[in-house]
Amino acid sequence: MHVRSLTPTITARLADFVTHVRPRIETRTFILIGAVALLPYAADAQTRGASDLQINKITKNLISAPQFIYTGAQQYQTNQRDRWLEVEVEFSAAPEFTDELTFKYYILFNGKLLTGEVSHTNIPAGTSNRSVMYVSPRTLARFGENRPVTASSFQNIAVQIEQQGVVKAELSLVRAPAQWLATMPQVSGFVVNKNETPFASLYWGRYEQIKVPTR
């Protein structure tokens, strides 16, 4: 084989590489560099697009009513065998202050979905803000058909945070199908806020300020 006979072939392949292959490699390299350069902007967009509100944890407890000692009137002992259901929500808020948030509570108890809501005002930024709601011993006896109530009597609990009518965060205590709340009839008026219970004067600094309805 002669070197001279190979020269036209090599020249032709080199010309083809310069004309067709190299531009494609350069184009792909440019696209890759562009994609890498835009990654910080994409991450920033995801961060800004995330909700400013998040529910971190739901806790349920069966507790007795507090006992108060005072003078000047007849004293009555509370029945320490009666139990209130306390549902506490820990949540995060990113804005420095939020004017108002509405918390909607859904408690699945003995096949009945009990609901209630409370509005909080002047909520500061934080990762351990709290809201709380209660179900009275009489309500538990009514919907529990006077049977003993234990922690396992509650099939599930869900909480939604609404801001100006829009759901901003939602969490269920037990994993459940999406929109499980919408498939059940709701019973309102039996889940009450802290100001409507014997616990009203307790733990003032633990929970967010409750909005008092205007008369």
- pLDDT tens, residue by residue, 151-173: 899 999 999 999 999 999 999 99
In whole angstroms, give the CA distance from residue 86 to residue 140: 12
87 bridge partner residues: 60, 133
CA-to-CA distance for 102 and 91, rounded, in angstroms?
Answer: 13
* pLDDT at 37 > cutoff 50: no
- At residue 19 the predicted structure's pLDDT band, cuts being 50, 70 and 90, is low
Read off the pLDDT band of 178 (50, 70, 90).
confident
More confident residue, 136 or 39: 136
What's the confidence (pLDDT) of residue 18?
46
Residue that has been written with the tokens 């009137």 in this structure: 73
Output 86 or 7, whichever has higher pLDDT.
86
The answer on pLDDT for 16 being more than 70 is: no
42-87: pLDDT as tens digits: 333 333 335 799 999 999 999 999 888 877 888 777 777 899 999 9
Classify domain 51-196 at the CATH class level: mainly beta
The predicted structure's pLDDT at residue 13:
55
Q: How high is the pLDDT of residue 79?
A: 78
Predicted pLDDT of residue 12? 54
DSSP state of 81: T
pLDDT band, very low/low/confident/very high, at 188 (cuts 50, 70, 90): very high
Give the CA count within 13 Å in the CB-facing half-sphere of 136.
Answer: 13
Residue with tokens 């909480």: 159
Name the residue ranges covered by the structural domains of the chain: 1-50, 51-196
End-to-end CA distance of the chain: 105
pLDDT at residue 20, as a whole number? 55
Could you tell me which residues come within 8 angstroms of residue 127 by beta carbon, excluding any fewer than 6 positions away? 56, 92
Q: Examine the pLDDT at 98 and tell me if it is beyond 50.
A: yes
User: Residue 9's pLDDT is what?
Assistant: 54
pLDDT at 131: 98
| pLDDT at residue 30, as a whole number | 39
